[in-house]
Structure 1
Amino acid sequence: MTSNADGTRTMTDAPGLLTDFLSFSLADARPVADRAGGECAHGVRYQWLGAGLLQFEPEAKPVASVVVSAGVHGDETAPIELVSRMVADIACGALPLACRLLVVLGNIGAMRAACRYLDDDLNRLFCGAHARLHGGSEKARAATLEAATARFFAQAAPADAAPRWHIDMHTAIRASVFEQFALLPHTGRAPADAMLEWLARARIAAILLHTAAGTTYTQFTAQTYEAMACTLELGKVRPFGQNDLSHFDAADRAVRSLVANVASGSATPMPRVFTVVDQITKRTDAFELALASDVPNFTVLAKGQEVARDGDYRYIVTRGDERIVFPNPSVKPGLRAGLIVVETTAETLARTPRGS
């Protein structure tokens, strides 16, 4: 490995890019010019697109275009390790590839620093939101990821001819009543049947439906490129090397079955479905959350309970079926400090226009 003037390092051992994509990325390495792309097992072509970005093309005609991302929050390490292991298995032929695949390790600077983000929450900076910032590490990274994703889908078949997917894997800061759950971005339609079935095979216990467009990575791919997109919350945040990856087997198998275009998992009950009915926003630094610091996601709230206050603002529970998800008083003013959700009945879901 040799050092470059810009501080990055060039790998003279190009296979390290594929055999340990995580270590390669954390080392701020880049392959030598003639080894940034090539062919690996089963005629699969690969191309390094920049830090934390790899694109794969199968030898046969692809059945879909899939983005698999992890590490949009740098301390959510288990999915990052799973993605790196998946890259190695594609490279050696242990995992067949049937789709066009973009692999994304999101916030590499925060991964190195073992923190959620350095300056701004990267998962609030998509759909052009980064343009409103005046600086910071995540501003540039969001623009880079948007551009790479745009190029990837620009080369894809139309969404009505070949499916487009985006699986963005995370782990949660706190415990949850439903340990593994999914969030689906707002598209104005009910989730596609294919997505619901895939989440069931992944053993996802609950689905959270957004009712307004946000600025997350999956919102960007869903609204701009018609991708079937989901954010997976797969367990608790832990440092690199301290994850029991067997705990993530069901989700890992489901992602691998998606990229290999093979059936995976037996029939399982459909996840329970919840809908966002309100958002608690931190307006000022005087914000207070009237909940225990370790309250789990999806905790049921009591009718009449005061959940948050911020100056003259109060959030009082008005229904008997409200639950809190992602309570976090430590966010910056102007950002979400919690979501209020209620369970969605099967009848309500059935009346909503279906996705493609």
Structure 2
Amino acid sequence: MTTPPSRFLQQVLSATAPQAQDWHLASGVLARWHSDNAVELLPAAAHPAGHHILLSCGIHGNETAPVEVVDKMLADIASGNLPLQHRVLVLFGNPDAMRQGERYLDYDLNRLFCGAHQQHPDTREAGHAARLEQQAARFFRHAPATAPRLHYDLHTAIRGSVYEKFAIYPFLHQRAHDPAQLAWLKHCGIEAVLLHSKPANTFSYYTSHYHQAHAFTLELGKARPFGQNDLSRFAGIDQALRQLVSNTTPALAAYQPGDYPLFRAKYDLIKHSQAFRLYLDADVENFTALPDGFLIAEDGAQRYVATGGAERILFPNPGVKPGLRAGIIVEPATL
């Protein structure tokens, strides 16, 4: 890291249980450790319209920039430089993988929520997923039914992107997309939003569906090791989160169609076997347009062919295990 990690991140990376559950910080803030990866921050006085904000990072252990952004916020809350006005839970998702600088150790953690971890009991990530579900459930259980519940799951991507910063809005079933959240995403510097069209086993879908949170997966750039992140590229999300926890977000212009492109997931590229072949360059960027008729991938008799000329590829990764998603085909959408 370019600057030493705060004592919060040092604690996570040390692989030891906190010596004290409660840390008393500046301005009367209480930091309460629930485990070696989960710290809850409680303001000295509850805000009358208090939000309940879950920030998760390190779900993929090699995605270090969001960890650094959150860690610097924690350091400034601890020193009193960042006033805390709302209840916050910070979850460092996969500390084992973070310590080794790996995306995951046995299985992609962000495919194991909503109980999917029960299907992979032999993986280390299964235990992490179960624990993260429990930690989120406990946190939101103590939020009044009418209080705003927010979850921002912070990531960086394996590869570059036509839209460097984009959000994934989980499938909402019968709930409506929230215009205030869409406006806040623009305030963060988000350049595109993917509206998911079906349930998923991701952390943001879990909190959205099971705890009625306004939840998003935020992809904020490219994954790099600790110490190699240009944090100036994350200034938008850093400022927006700091304003959020300190209750200083300015009045935002209402969301308008056209503020940024919207996409909808059309279908997943599923890798059924080791015969799977993806016919795209290894360094292809997220949201690369696919010409009409282009053979995207094939797996035995299964062929994936682009149609219409408006489709794009997202998260192409032919190296996943058989049975997992090797990419998403998306298309333009409207609300």
TM norm. shorter chain > 0.5: yes
What corresponds to 2:270 in structure 1? 281
Residue 324 (structure 2) pairs with residue 335 (structure 1) = yes
Q: 1:39 aligns with which of 12, 15, 24?
A: 24
Aligned residue among 244, 257, 260 for 2:243? 257
In 1, the alpha carbon distance for the partners of 2:35 and 2:83 equals 24
1:30 offset after TM fit, Å?
2.6
The aligned amino acid for 2:331 is V
Structure-2 change in CA distance of 1:290 and 1:190 (3 Å)? farther
Unaligned runs of 5+ in 2: none
Tell whether 2:75 aligns with 1:79: no
Counterparts of 1:26 and 1:57, CA distance in 2: 23
Residue ranges of structure 1 left out of the alignment (5+ in a row): 1-17, 350-356
Task: Confirm whether residue 206 of structure 1 aligns to residue 195 of structure 2.
Answer: no
What is the aligned counterpart of 1:91 among 62, 75, 78? Answer: 78
Q: Distance in 2 between matches of 1:81 and 1:40?
A: 20
- Output the CA distance in 1 between the equivalents of 2:250 and 2:60: 28
In the TM superposition, what is the alpha-carbon distance from 1:97 to its structure 2 partner? 1.1
Work out whether residues 119 and 138 of structure 1, in 8 Å CA contact, stay in contact via their aligned partners in 2: yes
Deviation digits for residues 298-325 of structure 1 (CA, Å, limit 9, x no counterpart): 0110111100100000001122210111
Q: Is residue 159 of structure 2 the alignment partner of residue 174 of structure 1?
A: yes
How much has 1:19 moved relative to structure 2?
3.6
Which position in structure 2 is the counterpart of 1:101? 88
Letter in 1 for 2:214: M
Superposed CA RMSD in Å reads 1.5
Of residues 109, 121, 141, the one that matches 1:122 is 109
Could you say what secondary structure the match of 1:278 adopts?
strand
Is the aligned partner of 1:148 residue 2:128?
no
Q: Distance in 2 between matches of 1:131 and 1:71?
A: 21
Task: Determine if contact 2:160/2:221 at 8 Å carries over to the other structure.
Answer: yes
Paired amino acid for 1:26: L
> SS at 1:29's partner residue?
coil
1:52 CA displacement: 1.5
- Give the 3-state SS of the residue equivalent to 1:283 in structure 2: coil
Name the CA distance, whole Å, in 1 between partners of 2:184 and 2:86: 16
Change (3 A) 1:250 1:107: same
The percentage of aligned residue pairs carrying the same residue is 47
Secondary structure of 1:31's partner? coil
Contact 1:299 1:324 in 2 (8 A): yes
The code of the aligned residue for 2:95 comes to I
**Cα distance in 2 between the residues matched to 1:134 and 1:145:** 15
- CA shift, 1:45, in A, is 1.6
Query: Which residue of structure 2 lines up, in the alignment, with residue 5 of structure 1?
Result: none
Give the corresponding residue for 2:281: 292
TM-score by length of 1: 0.88
1:223 maps to 2:212: no
User: Is the CA contact 1:202–1:265 (under 8 Å) kept in the aligned structure 2?
Assistant: no
What is the SS of the residue equivalent to 1:233?
strand
1:21 maps to 8
Distance 1:39 1:206 in 2: 39
**Conservation of the 8 A alpha-carbon contact between 1:75 and 1:239:** yes
Output the CA distance in 1 between the equivalents of 2:16 and 2:8. Answer: 10
1:316 corresponds to = 305
Matched, 1:53 2:38: yes
Contact kept in structure 1, 2:195 and 2:265, CA below 8 Å: yes
CA apart distance, 1:29: 2.7
Q: Structure 1 residues 23 and 264, CA, compared in 2 at 3 Å: closer, same or farther? A: farther
Alpha-carbon contact 1:181-1:205 (below 8 Å) kept: yes
CA distance in 1, matches of 2:103, 2:251: 32
SS in 1 for 2:97: helix
Contact 1:201 1:265 in 2 (8 A): no
Q: Partner amino acid for 1:315?
A: Y
Q: Is the 8 A contact 1:19 1:91 kept in 2?
A: no
Q: Match for residue 52 of structure 2?
A: 65
Q: In structure 2, what is the equivalent of residue 113 of structure 1?
A: 100
How far the C-alpha of 1:343 sits from its partner, in A, is 1.2
Would you say the 8 A contact 1:307–1:316 is kept in 2? yes
Amino acid of the structure 2 residue aligned with 1:76: E
TM-score by length of 2: 0.94
Q: Classify the secondary structure of the residue corresponding to 1:25.
A: helix
- Aligned to 1:246, which of 215, 222, 232? 232
Deviations 1:203-236 (A, max 9, x none): 1000001100000000110001100001111111
1:250 positional shift = 0.4
Give the distance between the partners of 2:27 and 2:83, measured in 1 at CA: 8
